[in-house]
Amino acid sequence: MSSFAPDHPESVFTYGAPQLKFGRGARHEIAHDLAQLGARRALVVTDPHVAATGTPAELVSSIEQSGGEAVLYDRSRIEPTDGSLIDAVEFARAAAPFDAVIAFGGGSSIDTAKAVNLLLTNDGELMDYVNAPVGGGRAPEHPLLPLIAVPTTTGTGSESTTICVLDVVSQHVKSGISHARLRPAFAVVDPELTMTQPSGVTAAAGLDILCHALESYTARPYTSYERKQAHERVPYCGANPIADLWAEKSLTLMADSFRAAVRHGDDERAREQMALAATFAGLGFGNAGVHIPHANAYPIAGQVPEGFRPRGYEADHAMVPHGMAVSLTAPAAFAFTFDADPARHLRAAHLLDPGVRTDDPAELLPTVLRSIMRDVGIPNGLSEIGFGADDVPALVEGTLKQQRLLATAPKSVTEDAAAAILSSSLELW
């Protein structure tokens, strides 16, 4: 299984998840759900594009018709930065107090809501809480408000997780805030909200689902760590039997629905299957953790060359969508991790494509991933979004800052290993 041999192997794993409501039309019950939490005044966090659809305003209206009060913040930035999160926090603090926070949008809006919730209930500034060494790594001292997360994209899993991701502009790197108290209290997953999602967004978000499931499934097993004391436990505890079940089911659902949802956005069954897959993957990786592809994705997104605009995103700034950034190094990463647990890598490949064959078993999962990426229109490697060989050292430096993620990898990731993975990812096919 793993190359790690602890003197005192861990014997305990942890599992956490939000209360969940899933299904078409589930969003229409949010006002009732809010009342059940005992909340009368809520902050609704969304982004301009989702706000333009009118659905957040409908939610505000339904809350008010039910006797509550809602304040709408519609300036969440796609791929949040430290600056955009501070803007949201300042707005929320000025409009406080609130009894609950509702995130209505993609992972960016949900992550923005998590940061707002953290800093509405705990003192200090944003960078105090960002993971070390990028930030101070401070843990919240006080409980947060109930957070209801309503995803409008299928991919991030942020409605299930304890993680808030942001771009720290001054350091040209993405990082995050990670603590169990950030996990939403309630996830409302309504596949109808994803029906108008552009194909490019569906493709990038879907690769995020796949990598969540694959990384949690191939993560270091929880038994490979040294035994922890109760106060030492963190949300990412390594691959474990419960997270494995969610990951396997997510891969099975994606094998059946992903390409169809990208090609035919009005396919209700495919959209629903993808929404389930995203939820399942989130319930898995939110406990097991993710590793190398996500660690690479942070500097890729943080150092994106000026001029790149992804298909399907109305971005006024250079950006690499998170799922795209994660996927671009996934084939090389899984070739690297193969020998840590060949059986898991082979099973994952066959769940996604039962008929796949290669001469080299280590290339089976990378082959499946490259085929999917080509079919859904993901760029052909880092070079297609503007990176070259000269950029690899800076990307490696950014990757090695993500020790919280790399600690979950099934093999130790050295500077040379990271450089080889990123260099192999400049061109994929």
**177: which residues sit within 8 A by CB, 6+ positions away?**
114, 115, 118, 129, 130, 131, 135, 163, 164, 166
CA atoms within 13 A on the CB side of 407: 13
What pLDDT, on a 0 to 100 scale, did the predictor assign at position 235? Answer: 87
Neighbours of 282 (CB within 10 A): 32
Q: What's the pLDDT at 2?
A: 55
pLDDT at 317 (0 to 100): 80
The H or E element that residue 163 is part of is strand 163-168
* DSSP, res 8: S
Distances (CA, A) of 129 to 120, 123, 138, 249: 13, 10, 5, 34
Length of the chain (residues) = 429
53: Cβ contacts below 8 Å, ≥ 6 apart: 196
Residue 79, helix vs strand vs coil: coil
**pLDDT at res. 311:** 85
pTM: 0.91
Distance, CA of 345 to CA of 265 (rounded, Å): 30
- Going by their DSSP bridges, the two strands 69-73 and 186-189 should be labelled as unpaired
What are the tokens at 195? 């029906």
Matching residue, tokens 């499946």 = 368
Q: How far apart are CA 221 and CA 240, in angstroms?
A: 6
Burial class (CB in 10 A: 0-12, 13-18, 19+), 278: buried
Distance CA 110, CA 133 (A): 24
pLDDT in tens, the chain (429 residues): 457 889 999 999 999 999 999 999 999 999 999 999 999 999 999 999 999 999 999 999 999 999 999 999 999 998 899 999 999 999 999 999 999 999 999 989 999 999 999 999 999 999 999 988 889 999 999 999 999 999 998 888 889 889 898 989 888 777 889 999 999 999 999 999 999 889 999 999 999 999 999 999 999 999 999 999 999 998 899 999 999 999 999 999 999 999 999 999 999 999 999 999 999 999 999 999 999 999 999 899 989 888 898 988 877 788 899 999 999 999 999 999 999 999 999 999 999 999 999 999 999 999 999 999 999 999 999 999 999 999 999 999 999 988 889 999 999 999 999 999 999 999 999
Half-sphere exposure of 60 (CA within 13 A, CB side): 14
Task: Fill in the amino acid letter for 52.
Answer: A
Nearest to 31 by CA among 61, 54, 62, 58: 62
What single string gives the DSSP state of each residue in 80-133? -BHHHHHHHHHHHHHH---SEEEEEESHHHHHHHHHHHHHHHS-S-HHHHSPTT
Q: Which residues contact 116 (CB under 8 A, 6 or more apart)?
A: 43, 45, 73, 85, 88, 89, 92, 101
Closest CA to 30 of 188, 144, 175: 188
pLDDT value for 297: 95
* Contact present, 261 and 153 (Cβ < 8 Å): no
Rounded to a whole number, what is the distance in angstroms from the first to the last CA of the chain? 30
- Token digits for 275? 């929404």
Chain position carrying tokens 């130790």: 412
Instruction: State the CB neighbour count (10 A cutoff) for residue 140.
Output: 20
